[in-house]
Amino acid sequence: MKKSKYIGIFIREAEEHLEALRSGFLCLEKEGVSEVQLNELLRSTHTLKGSANMVDLVELAGIAHRMEDILKGLQNGEQEFSSDLIDVLLVATDAIEALMAQAQAGGGISVNVDTVVKALKSGSIAEEQAKTEVAPDYQGTERRTSVRASVERLDQLVNRMGEILLSQKTMAARQRQMTDLLHQLDSLTAHLRVAGDQSLQTFRSNMLGLINDFERDRLQLGYQAEDVYQRTMELRLLPLATVTDDFERSLRNLARNLKKEVNFIIQGQDVELDRNILDAIKPVLLHVLNNAIDHGIEAPDTRIRLAKPKAGQITLHAQYEGSFIQIAVRDDGQGLDPEKIRSTAVKRGILSTEAAAGMSDDAVIYLVFEPGFSTREFITDVSGRGVGLDVVKANLDQVKGNFTLRSELGVGTELILRLPSSMAIFTGLMVECCGETYVFPQHYIVEVLRISPLDILEEMGREVVRLNGASIPLNSLSQLLEQDQVVRVADRLTVLVLSFREQTIGLLVDQTLGLQEVVVKDLGCQLKSLEYFSGSTILGEGTPALIVSVADLFGASQRRQIRPLRATYEKEQKKAKRGRVLVVDDSITTRTMEKNILETNNYEVVVAVSGFDALDKLNAGSFDLMVSDVEMPGMTGFELTKKVRQREDTHNLPVIIVTSLASDDHRRQGMQAGAQAYIVKGSFKQGVLLETVETLIS
Amino acid sequence: MAKKILIVDDSPSVLAVLEDMLDDLGYEVTAASNGKQACQLLETIRYDLIITDLSMPVMDGIDFAQTAKQMPNCKFVPIVMLSSEEDAAKIAEAKRVGISTFLRKPVKEVQLKTILQVVLGT
Q: What is the DSSP string of A195-253?
A: TT-HHHHHHHHHHHHHHHHHHHHHHHHHHHHHHHHHHHHHHTEEETHHHHTTHHHHHHH
Q: What is the CATH number of the domain that holds A582?
A: 3.40.50.2300
Q: How many domains does chain A have?
A: 5
Among the candidates A389, A413, A437, a domain finishes at: A413
CB atoms within 10 A of CB B78: 18
- pLDDT computed for residue B122 by the predictor: 66
Residue A152 has pLDDT above 50, yes or no: yes
Average pLDDT over residues A482-508: 75
Average pLDDT over residues A151-170: 76
Cα separation, A501 vs A556, whole angstroms? 15
Range of the domain at A300: 261-413
- Whether A16 and A30 map to the same domain: the answer is yes
pTM, entire model = 0.43
B58 in A contact zone (CB under 8 Å): no
Residue A558 has pLDDT above 80, yes or no: no
- Whether A268 and A380 map to the same domain: the answer is yes
- pLDDT computed for residue A591 by the predictor: 85
Answer yes or no: is A256 within a domain: no
Answer yes or no: is A10 within a domain: yes
- Whether A41 and A175 map to the same domain: the answer is no
- pLDDT computed for residue A584 by the predictor: 93
Among the candidates A357, A385, A413, a domain finishes at: A413
- Whether A439 and A562 map to the same domain: the answer is yes
- pLDDT computed for residue A135 by the predictor: 40
Answer yes or no: is A216 within a domain: yes
Answer yes or no: is A512 within a domain: yes
Among the candidates A189, A219, A235, a domain finishes at: A235
- Whether A229 and A289 map to the same domain: the answer is no
B86 in A contact zone (CB under 8 Å): no
- Whether A359 and A478 map to the same domain: the answer is no
Where is average pLDDT lowest: A111-125, A239-253, A619-633, A642-656? A111-125
- Whether A563 and A583 map to the same domain: the answer is no
Answer yes or no: is A592 within a domain: yes
Interchain pair B12, A12: CB under 8 A = yes
Q: What is the CATH number of the domain that holds A406?
A: 3.30.565.10
Contacts of A531 (CB under 8 A, 6+ apart): A552, A556
Residue B93 has pLDDT above 90, yes or no: no
Average pLDDT over residues A469-497: 76
Chain B nearest CA to A161, separation (Å): 40
Residue A480 has pLDDT above 90, yes or no: no
Confidence bin at A303 (pLDDT 50/70/90) = very high
- pLDDT computed for residue A137 by the predictor: 41
Interchain pair A54, B13: CB under 8 A = yes
**Identity at A33, one-letter amino acid code:** V
Interchain pair B12, A9: CB under 8 A = yes
Confidence bin at A313 (pLDDT 50/70/90) = very high
B34 in A contact zone (CB under 8 Å): no
For A443, the 3-state DSSP assignment is helix
- Whether A429 and A554 map to the same domain: the answer is yes
How confident is the model over A292-302, as pLDDT tens digits?
A: 888 888 889 99
Confidence bin at A390 (pLDDT 50/70/90) = low
Where is average pLDDT lowest: A211-225, A266-280, A552-566, B105-119? A552-566
How confident is the model over A676-693, as pLDDT tens digits?
A: 888 887 655 677 888 888
Distance of CA A639 to the CA centre of its chain: 44
- pLDDT computed for residue A147 by the predictor: 67
Chain B nearest CA to A34, separation (Å): 18
Comparing A88 with A501, which gets the higher pLDDT?
A88
Q: Which helix (H) or strand (E) holds A281?
A: helix A275-291
Inter-chain contacts counted by CB atoms under 8 A, chains A and B: 48
Residue A398 has pLDDT above 90, yes or no: no
Over pLDDT 70: what percentage of chain A? Answer: 84
How confident is the model over A78-128, as pLDDT tens digits?
A: 888 888 888 888 888 888 888 888 887 766 556 677 777 777 777 666 544
Show the domains of chain B with their CATH numbers: 4-120 (3.40.50.2300)
Residue A560 has pLDDT above 70, yes or no: no
- Whether A510 and A581 map to the same domain: the answer is no
Among chain A, residues having any CB pair with chain B shorter than 8 Å are 2, 5-6, 9-10, 12-13, 43, 46-47, 49-51, 53-56
Residue A527 has pLDDT above 70, yes or no: no
- Whether A368 and A464 map to the same domain: the answer is no
Cα separation, A201 vs A217, whole angstroms? 24
Where is average pLDDT lowest: A515-529, A562-576, A634-648, B7-21? A515-529
Answer yes or no: is A245 within a domain: no
Mean pLDDT (chain B) is 85
Where is average pLDDT lowest: A88-102, A322-336, A471-485, A632-646? A471-485
Secondary structure (DSSP) of B54-112: SS-SSS-HHHHHHHHHTSTTTTT--EEEEE----HHHHHHHHHTTEEEEEESSPPHHHH
Q: Which helix (H) or strand (E) holds A440?
A: strand A436-441
**Residue A352 and residue A304 in contact, taking contact as beta carbons nearer than 8 Å:** no
Over pLDDT 90: what percentage of chain A? Answer: 7
Mean pLDDT (chain A) is 80
For A174, the 3-state DSSP assignment is helix
Name the residue among A43, A47, A54 with its Cβ closest to that of B17: A54
Q: Which helix (H) or strand (E) holds A18?
A: helix A3-31
How confident is the model over A339-364, as pLDDT tens digits?
A: 888 888 888 888 888 888 888 888 88
